[in-house]
Amino acid sequence: MSERISRRNFLKESAITSAGGALAASVVVNQSLAQGQDNKPAIPKTVPGSKGTLPKGKICNLEVSRMLLGGNLLTHFTHSRDLRYVYALTRHYNTQQKIMETMAVAESYGIDTLVIHTAAGAIDTIKKYRKECGGKMKCIVCPTANIEPDMKAYSEQVKQLVDDGIEAIYLWGVRSDALVKEGKIDLVAKAVDCAKELGVPSGVGAHDLNVVKECEKNKINMDFYIKTFHHHNYPSAKLNHDSMWCAAPDETIQVMAKVEKPWIAFKVMAAGAIPPKNAFSYVLENGADHVLAGMFDFEIEEDYRIIKEVITSVKRTRPWRS
């Protein structure tokens, strides 16, 4: 059996071959997410579910797989603690061509929904993938426009996303964390309503558990939460350097147990620090309805097999809410 490819092995092998590949690397060093790839073989037409399927849940009328594809690795917003070269390495690996290949692989294993923010070129890549590859990947997107009392910039971006065919919208956790901290829960409500008024599911993202508490307390009419969730049993948990995203996992379990809206858990592997099986088991057993996982294309098959096994055996106390 061939050695399992992990992010660690991938980075190690990349370093070993870097000298011989310097010329090739220089060719792609300036490529960005928004750029196309010349002289690349065409991506095969996407065949959803051709290699596997996953159980699904419903957020309003939107049916989504229990595992979702995370967008951070694809848009190069890579959390890597003090290993700053990883950001550049990810940017060079995940070209537009590779991003579309990754979505195609994910769909072939029944991962039918992508969660991503409006990074430069992201929506254009999704549209190209759908048009040229026949991809059916559904998309849950967080707009990154500023949120002001008049909601002008934000509402315009939400409308454009819906016009582009995006299936669901959620308030970016970076925005919701700040708004709640500033006591502006009314603007969280307005952001939720922007999407709901256009007829698509509308959610709230959060890193800070206080966002969920305040939304529940004020009965904000969102359709789902996207909330960070991971345990602290990994070496760099206390590093306090781009290394922790769920500050209070035990309290998160208690709070979310009472929440009746669907919950998509993200940062479940603490940006690669927690092994997939450990991470997936932990979040599903403790109440999450969907697992959002950032994956390189070569990790998808293994993660699919793990999540399939975990879902089959999981014992939950919180009912499935989607």
What pLDDT was estimated at residue 111? Answer: 98
**Fold of the 56-313 domain:** TIM Barrel (3.20.20)
Distance CA 247, CA 235 (A): 15
List b or e across 148-179, with b for residues whose CB sees 16 or more CB atoms inside 10 angstroms.
Answer: eeebeebbebbeebbeeebbbbbbbbebbbeb
> Which mean pLDDT values do the consecutive 10-residue runs of the chain (322 residues) have?
46 43 35 49 80 98 98 90 90 95 97 96 95 95 97 98 98 98 98 97 98 98 98 94 96 98 98 97 98 97 98 96 98
What pLDDT was estimated at residue 240? Answer: 86
pLDDT, tens digit, 9 for 90 and up, residues 258-313:
999 999 999 999 999 999 999 999 999 999 999 999 999 999 999 999 999 999 99
The residue ranges of every structural domain in the chain are 56-313
111's CB contacts (< 8 A; 6+ apart) are: 54, 65, 67, 68, 69, 300, 304
Distance CA 230, CA 237 (A): 10
122's CB contacts (< 8 A; 6+ apart) are: 33, 71, 74, 75, 116, 141
Distance CA 293, CA 269 (A): 8
Distance CA 272, CA 293 (A): 10
For the CA atoms of the chain, what is the radius of gyration? 19
What pLDDT was estimated at residue 169? Answer: 98
What pLDDT was estimated at residue 40? Answer: 60
Beta pairing class for 202-206 and 224-228: parallel
Q: 183 with 239: CB under 8 angstroms?
A: no
